[in-house]
Structure 1
């Protein structure tokens, strides 16, 4: 399958490696957007488990073992996100740039600085 360029060689290479991994195992048949989004949610849940009962401060200072486990869960999230975006023909980098522009308008600095409230409550 041809992988359209994201405009960044590193992301293009990673996407190609992930798709080759999937193709070698004939898993693409299981990768509907529904299944990929559910797998992504599951991986995010596994990531959350590492922080579930930690204080704010503890979450900032993970043990080396927990840090590595979190690193691996973040990688799983990234892989499923790449696959889902590819399946839906979404350029991840452009989508993030577009969303950042929306958030800049929703959260103007003069209202949002130092404030964790939702844009509708600013």
Structure 2
């Protein structure tokens, strides 16, 4: 799946209110946290009959990372504009739509705090 197809799959998942579809396009594991976040995304944007007006994809951060800009309109005419980071893993493009992914076990989360001396 290319980056543009990942954006189309995202809109399809929204329209069909598919938790599994969002998890797949997001490239995350199907776990309790990802299902909960997918449900929140669907509660906000799901089932509204989105029609894609424009998708622009740029591989502006390297061969496996870029950005995608989506413009869509729901069945009532309300516009949606969103920008996503797109990443390619094992040949498949995913959208970074999940923000609550827990840190990996045995790995300290990144911090911008300066160490105390």
- Bigger Cα Rg: 1
**Fold-level match, TM-score > 0.5?**
no
TM-score between both structures, scaled by the size of structure 1:
0.27
